[in-house]
Amino acid sequence: MKKYMFLFIIALAIILTGCSGRDENEKDKIPPIPPVLTPHLGDTGDPPVEYGGQLIVLNEDNNGIDAVPDGDWIRVLWDPFKDTDLSHVRIYRFNDFNPEPVFMDSISASAHYYLDTDTNIMERVWYYYFIDLVDLAGNTSRSDTTSYALLPKSILISPADNSVISPLNMSFKWHRIGSVGKFRIIFFDENYNYVWHKDITTNLENEEFEVIDFPVNTAQQYAGQSLRWRVDSFEYDADKEAFMGSESNERIIHIGQI
């Protein structure tokens, strides 16, 4: 009886070992479809652009790598991933002065973007990003590289945050920091839907700018409601054939009744 039991144990071990070997051989070894980082397609208020075979109306969520109003940070955006068995994303960064890629962070593959909040980001320096996409089996694929450079933020002067202003006399002032080629004062409703903007080519002799011609008919439509506003800055880099940019901090205004 002991002899048969011993033989049974050996046979079971052989079976389990064989199964384990087949599992290892059949393990998923196919890497994910390479991810695609979304380049800077433009800015809210620009005309629609063609991307991925479609005409896109640009907004804060789909315009690609960009500055953000919350801080001196860069948002890295990617096109939707095509695989479903994904684990995480590894983000890497380098710049013209430090060309060796540096690992920045690892985040869930369910994220749609990465916000680089590094306090050491320098103005007017081009930062380059790429990502590795990792699936549940540990396979990886690498993206292309995209880049962006930050400008100094404009400083909003008036009206103060949460001010109540008349729709018949809407005046906005801000202070320029550094040399900037163009400003865009832009307005959103409470749900971040685009409302209106005005582009201003800068005069380097001026440090303070003002817009007082907000359309009265548009202002009247929002009487009794609130709007968000900020000032975006742009400067064209001829060497990179691309724009650098920044977005000021945002303020809220409440438009009074007529």
Segment 201-210 shows an average pLDDT of 81
Number of residues in the chain: 258
Lowest mean pLDDT among 70-84, 128-142, 174-188: 174-188
* Dihedral in degrees, nearest 10, Cα atoms 157, 158, 161, 166: -170
Cα 4 to chain centroid distance, Å, stands at: 67
pLDDT digit string, tens, across residues 79-106: 999 999 999 999 999 999 999 999 999 9
159 preceded by a cis bond (ω within 30 of 0): yes
Model pTM score: 0.86
Contact 59, 46 (CB under 8 A): no
Residue 18: band (very low, low, confident or very high) from pLDDT cuts 50, 70, 90: very low
Task: Determine the straight-line distance between the first and last CA of the chain, rounded to whole angstroms.
Answer: 101
Across 72-87, b (16+ Cβ under 10 Å) vs e yields bbbbbbbeebebeebb
Distance (Å, whole) CA 67 – CA 151: 9
- DSSP 8-state symbol, 20: H
HSE toward the beta carbon, residue 103, CA cutoff 13 A: 6
pLDDT above 70 covers what percent of the chain? 89
Write out pLDDT tens, residues 100-134. Answer: 999 999 999 999 999 999 999 999 999 999 999 99
